[in-house]
Chains A and B, each alone.
Chain A
Amino acid sequence: MASKTSRTERKPVPLAEFAADIDRRRSEYEERCGRPFDIPRNSGKRRTASKRALLEAIEEAGGKW
Chain B
Amino acid sequence: MERQKPGAYRSEFEQALRLFGRASEAMKARGLPAPVLVGGAAVEIYSKGAINTGDFDIATPWQAEPEDELESLGFVRPAGRGRATRGLIHPDLRLGFEIVSGSLLDGMADRERVQLIDLGEDGEAAVISVEDMIADRMGQYASGTAPEMLVQARRLFSLHRDADRHYMEMRIRHETVGDYGVEDLKD
Contact = CB atoms under 8 A, between A and B. Distances in A.
Of A10, A14, A43, which is in contact with the most chain B CB atoms at under 10 Å from its CB?
A: A10
19 contacts: A2-B116, A14-B118, A15-B14, A15-B17, A16-B8, A19-B48, A22-B45, A29-B158, A39-B43, A41-B51, A42-B51, A46-B145, A50-B84, A53-B84, A53-B85, A53-B87, A54-B55, A58-B96, A60-B78
A34 interface: no
Contacts of B107: none
A63 B54 CA distance: 7
Interface in B131-151: 140, 145-149, 151
A64 B52 CA distance: 10
B18 to A, nearest CB: 8
Contacts of A60: 78
B114 A2 contact: yes
Contacts of B84: 49-50, 53
A9 to B, nearest CB: 5
A10 to B, nearest CB: 5
Given A3-B112, A10-B113, A53-B85, A58 B145 contact: no
B53 A43 contact: no
Contacts of A43: 146-148
A11 B9 contact: no
Given A16-B7, A38-B155, A50 B110 contact: no
Given A13-B118, A15-B117, A29-B159, A39 B87 contact: no
Given A15-B117, A18-B117, A39-B151, A65 B7 contact: no
A14 B120 contact: yes
